[in-house]
């Protein structure tokens, strides 16, 4: 076997455990097995094995749990950063809605407000709309519906969906749901910005926009890292 990878048997020998225990380490996330190209034979990066061996030599009964916890935190951070990068990089184009689509979208949003819960797919689809709904689209919507404040149903729906997601019983353990919540919160922030620009351009004063002024997610990756660091403390 190469110096970079070890077979399961070789890794077990380095760690002085049985292959059964080694497989348990893999299930716990302490080691990450891979496969040899063109075969079903599993291998593990030698660097991972030696790091774990070093950790095991420390005089601490909780060392393995600590390693697993740190790996879980890294995975969570990577997912959140990935979601935020996609939001910041890919959501700049407006929806460019037609009058008919604008009317249908507005009606669908109003109906969705009466729902008490939503599936993650539904929230994902709406988050895409919240992220891309800009002042140009609001002009088309208000012309199609005659509603002088066309942003309100969309802002209300984004808030309710974000609130429902974060209060879900599975939120703390469901990374996909957490990612959706980040998108909903950023969508609300962007939607409110579009609403403010639209309202100002038409001389509309709406005090209700004030309660949507605080975003639930940072506006940059740097802010996200700072926020996560504060939570750990």
Q: Which of the 8 DSSP states describes residue 144?
A: H
Residue 65 lies in a domain: no
The pLDDT, as a whole number, for residue 217 is 41
The pLDDT, as a whole number, for residue 208 is 66
Domain of residue 133: give its range: 70-232
The pLDDT, as a whole number, for residue 213 is 53
pLDDT along the chain (233 residues), means of 10: 77 90 82 77 85 69 58 57 52 75 93 89 90 90 93 92 89 84 87 88 75 46 48 45
Residue 33 lies in a domain: yes
The pLDDT, as a whole number, for residue 103 is 92
Residue 159 lies in a domain: yes
The pLDDT, as a whole number, for residue 76 is 55
Domain co-membership, 194 together with 126 = yes
Burial class (CB in 10 A: 0-12, 13-18, 19+), 17: middle
Q: Could you give the C-alpha distances from 142 to 17, 94, 152, 196, in angstroms and in order?
A: 68, 16, 11, 14
Domain co-membership, 127 together with 81 = yes
Residue 205 lies in a domain: yes
Cβ atoms of residues 191 and 154 within 8 Å: yes
Domain co-membership, 44 together with 150 = no
d(CA 218, CA 194): 18
Domain co-membership, 12 together with 109 = no
Residue 64 lies in a domain: no
The pLDDT, as a whole number, for residue 9 is 92
Domain co-membership, 53 together with 79 = no
The pLDDT, as a whole number, for residue 115 is 87
């Amino acid at each position: 076997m190469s110096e970079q990878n070890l077979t399961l048997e070789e890794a077990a020998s380095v760690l002085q455990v049985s292959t059964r225990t080694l497989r348990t380490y893999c299930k716990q996330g302490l080691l990450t097995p891979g496969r040899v190209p063109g075969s079903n034979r599993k291998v593990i990066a030698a660097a991972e094995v030696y790091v774990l061996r070093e950790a095991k030599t420390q005089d601490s009964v909780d060392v393995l749990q600590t390693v697993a916890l740190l790996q879980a935190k890294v995975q969570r951070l990577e997912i959140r950063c990935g979601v935020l990068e996609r939001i910041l990089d890919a959501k700049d184009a407006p929806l460019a809605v037609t009058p008919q689509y604008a009317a249908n979208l507005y009606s669908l949003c109003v109906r969705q407000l009466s729902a008490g819960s939503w599936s993650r797919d539904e929230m994902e689809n709406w988050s895409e709309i919240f992220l891309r709904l800009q002042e140009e689209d609001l002009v088309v919507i208000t012309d199609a519906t005659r509603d002088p404040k066309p942003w309100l149903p969309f802002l209300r729906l984004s808030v309710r969906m974000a609130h429902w997601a974060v209060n879900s019983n599975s939120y703390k353990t469901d990374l996909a749901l957490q990612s959706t919540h980040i998108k909903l919160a950023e969508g609300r922030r962007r939607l409110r910005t579009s609403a403010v620009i639209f309202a100002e351009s038409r001389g509309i004063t709406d005090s209700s926009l004030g309660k949507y002024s605080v975003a639930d997610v940072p506006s940059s990756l740097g802010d996200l890292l700072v926020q996560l660091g504060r939570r750990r403390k």
